[in-house]
């Protein structure tokens, strides 16, 4: 009986230690968590807890991890092998439990690395693609084929539209959220591809990028399930007009139906100090922030969700006359 009680207390203490370690590790960034997993078997086991891996945020990678130059776009291009080893290690710890993956803005990703990551994240629901990389059509197809359950994607200029959209249409039939990130231009060809390959889209963000009015009209008219379009800080222009100027709210009101206007999200506080993520990040000049910090933070966030819980406005036709 004494031995039984002693064994029970040991199991209870082991469980308590495990829970304490998991709680502590939850506050670590991905690099520190990878290092912690190498300390001992007890720490390694705690580092594999599924709760730590639902969201894999690679944006916390910094240059010192791979002995590369200071943070600049493409700075990691020459450290491919080290990054590949790192990806394999952390994804081994995740044991396939990752459902949200955010690539680093600065890390240069290759076809091989993209496929390596996709093979180990088959349960993925949301992905924020990297800003720089070397991707082939075959590589993009292979990744999307493995991410069949994908529901949300942030598209960057690193992946050509004629690669990504056919792949989404072929393999990822559950896409309901899409964001075009900085470096992209939202054009008619993108809108037409979305109508063809992602017909179930419900939320779209073209925040802070140039956009064609015809492209906006296209998605609002032909994507039947579309509920919200984030046009916060977008430069929307009429491509049939050679003059380079953005359309204002009155122009949108004249071009769009009341139903379409009701789906638009915009930032009303832009001229008053700003309430949205783009405004807040743009006003943060602290030295601790990385180069391109304002773009980095906005680039990797899910802006439809963030706006839905913050200060924003959805443009109803009855209030357009106020702007």
> In the chain, where are the structural domains located?
1-51, 53-175, 216-323
Could you tell me how far CA 187 lies from the centroid of its own chain? Answer: 20
* Confidence at residue 258, expressed as pLDDT on a 0 to 100 scale: 86
Which residues in the chain come in under a pLDDT of 50?
1, 63, 67-70, 270-272, 287-294, 308-312, 314-323
- 145-162 confidence digits (pLDDT tens): 999 999 999 998 888 889
Tokens describing residue 275? 């309430």
Torsion of CA 203, 209, 213, 218, to 10 degrees: -30
Determine whether 248 is exposed, middle or buried from the number of CB atoms within 10 Å of its CB (0-12, 13-18, 19+): exposed
Q: 259: helix, coil or strand?
A: helix
The label of the residue with tokens 């080290």 reads: 82
* Confidence at residue 294, expressed as pLDDT on a 0 to 100 scale: 45
Is residue 228 within 8 A of residue 263, CB to CB? The reply is yes
- 255-302 confidence digits (pLDDT tens): 888 888 888 887 765 444 555 666 666 555 554 444 444 455 555 566
């Amino acid at each position: 009986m004494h031995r039984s009680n002693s064994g029970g207390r040991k199991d209870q203490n082991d469980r308590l230690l495990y829970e304490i370690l998991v709680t502590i590790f939850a506050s670590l960034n991905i690099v520190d968590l990878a290092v912690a997993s190498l300390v001992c078997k007890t720490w390694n086991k705690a580092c594999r807890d599924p709760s730590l891996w639902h969201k894999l945020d690679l944006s916390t990678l910094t240059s010192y991890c791979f002995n590369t130059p200071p943070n600049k776009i493409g700075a990691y291009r020459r450290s491919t092998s080290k990054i590949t080893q790192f990806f394999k290690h952390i994804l081994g710890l995740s044991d396939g439990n990752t459902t949200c993956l955010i690539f680093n803005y600065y890390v240069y990703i290759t076809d091989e690395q993209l496929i390596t990551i996709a093979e180990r994240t088959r349960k993925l629901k949301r992905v924020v693609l990297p800003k720089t990389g070397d991707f082939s059509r075959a590589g993009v197809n292979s990744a999307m084929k493995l991410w069949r359950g994908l529901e949300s994607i942030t598209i960057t200029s690193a992946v050509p539209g004629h690669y990504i959209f056919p792949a989404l249409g072929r393999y990822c039939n559950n896409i309901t959220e899409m964001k075009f990130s900085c470096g992209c231009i939202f054009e008619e060809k993108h809108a037409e591809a979305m109508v063809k390959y992602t017909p179930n889209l419900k939320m779209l963000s073209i925040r802070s990028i140039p956009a064609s009015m015809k492209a906006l009209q296209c998605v609002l008219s032909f994507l039947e399930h579309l509920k919200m379009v984030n046009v916060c800080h977008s430069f929307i222009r009429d491509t049939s007009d050679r003059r380079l100027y953005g359309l204002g709210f009155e122009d949108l009101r004249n071009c769009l139906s009341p139903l379409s206007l009701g789906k638009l999200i915009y930032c009303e506080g832009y001229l008053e100090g700003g309430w949205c993520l783009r405004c807040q990040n743009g006003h943060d000049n602290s030295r601790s922030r990385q180069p391109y910090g304002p773009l980095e933070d906005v680039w990797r966030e899910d802006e439809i969700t963030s706006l839905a819980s913050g200060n924003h406005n959805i443009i109803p036709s009855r209030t357009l006359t106020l702007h």
